Structure 1
């Protein structure tokens, strides 16, 4: 890079964060905003990572960021709600006189974010983190696919619907205007908030009774009546459910009849 060879350098540090819901923001240590690759990087000296530790090993890189809450784009409430968990991160240097050729430094995604004083601290999961994944799947009596994915192949078009919240009888219970009449149709399913204070967040559904949905955890923010939500049916991943409810036994990704350590406890009267 030619801007490294000058007597008076014009180097600025930039970083881009993109949330899983598509929201992207950029920051730079320069004293004015920079437009790079279609995104405006806001001048935010307080957003400088205080420590970036890299190594030639396979452990996850550490990213320590201070002063993050000085930006209105990253609020404490959003961090606490997990909106930035898993966000894609790119860190690079740029010539602020001609920012058309950035020099990449680090890329990856943020792990779980924790509050640290006036900023946040997160693990940066780089490409080496992929090596932590299992090479082959382990056998299991339950299905290893997710309902509706490319291995399961159940059509979710008729099992996903957009509706509204009509009641909140308990902190972790909501009632919606329309739902599948099938018994416990949304058990192990998903609820995604499309409007209101929880917009963009997801919640796991433990069980359902008609339009009454029991969530695993209470919403981060108290929902409002009329909030728009998307509900998706769930599956308990048992072979009997796969064949009986979905008629999808040929795509079952488990080994329900393979003997295992619990073989003796599968029979009545076993002790």
Structure 2
């Protein structure tokens, strides 16, 4: 137990650190003035409070709701709608506001779940590490590969299949043309990561490609512009023929293309 929690006169401040997937970190505190800890300023955010905190020592998935007012220079409605805070890492802890660089008492950690916006405020759920226990233990069979191209199960090296390029034209709400593309549908099923422009830090899944012309699954959060720097990564249609012929990686194929499905019962004359 931290020593500052045992004092007769409490000097406790609740702090939480939020770190987005693009590396941007913000700090907030329930104290009435800003606090600095480990080089990060924890800003006094009126109206930003966690819900009642309940911690258990079992395997039940603990959850914590965080509510706060939208501030123009910190967490904005536009960033929330664009998904910049989806999956952000969160660490909630208590410190002594008289000695913010001193010891801390951890409360909860995890990542932001569903974020909703109501009027001029937002609500977000914090999912702790125990929430992973709710995931399926075993995978279901599928004719298509269940691995993601380049992950530890697929093992395809993406170093030569990743390219930095720029947007040269915006041909539609969900269509962009890049300076350097690939042959055919090389980037279909891949991803485009925005490194510049209004969408910087976001990712857009690529539906299909035709050379340098990319069709995205959905329009990006903000309108792109010619000259925006992007990173594009090749994709895979998860078919066995593609895995064998294009990547030469059939030994790591994570699917069962030859396993009979439930339609086997209807495969007889007169069905």
TM-score by length of 1: 0.92
The CA deviation at 1:5 is: 3.1
> Match of 1:76?
77
Give secondary structure in 2 for the equivalent of 1:113.
strand
The CA deviation at 1:90 is: 1.1
Q: Retained in 2: the 8 A contact 1:52–1:64? A: no
Aligned residue pairs, count: 267
> Match of 1:257?
258
> Match of 2:246?
245
> Match of 1:189?
190
Give secondary structure in 2 for the equivalent of 1:66.
strand
Q: Distance in 2 between matches of 1:247 and 1:265?
A: 34
- What are the residue-to-residue correspondences of 1:1-271 with 2, within 5 Å? 1-49=2-50, 51-54=51-54, 56=56, 58-67=60-69, 69-70=70-71, 72-99=73-100, 100-181=102-183, 183-263=184-264
Give secondary structure in 2 for the equivalent of 1:130.
helix
The CA deviation at 1:159 is: 1.1
Q: Distance in 2 between matches of 1:190 and 1:247?
A: 21
Give secondary structure in 1 for the equivalent of 2:132.
helix
Q: Distance in 1 between matches of 2:234 and 2:270?
A: 35
Give secondary structure in 2 for the equivalent of 1:45.
coil
Q: Retained in 2: the 8 A contact 1:47–1:65? A: yes
Q: Retained in 2: the 8 A contact 1:60–1:123? A: no
Give the CA RMSD over aligned residues. Answer: 2.0
1:270–1:150 distance in 2 versus 1, CA, 3 Å: farther
Give secondary structure in 2 for the equivalent of 1:188.
coil
The CA deviation at 1:6 is: 2.8
Q: Distance in 1 between matches of 2:8 and 2:250?
A: 69
Q: Distance in 2 between matches of 1:52 and 1:6?
A: 22
Q: Retained in 1: the 8 A contact 2:144–2:254? A: yes
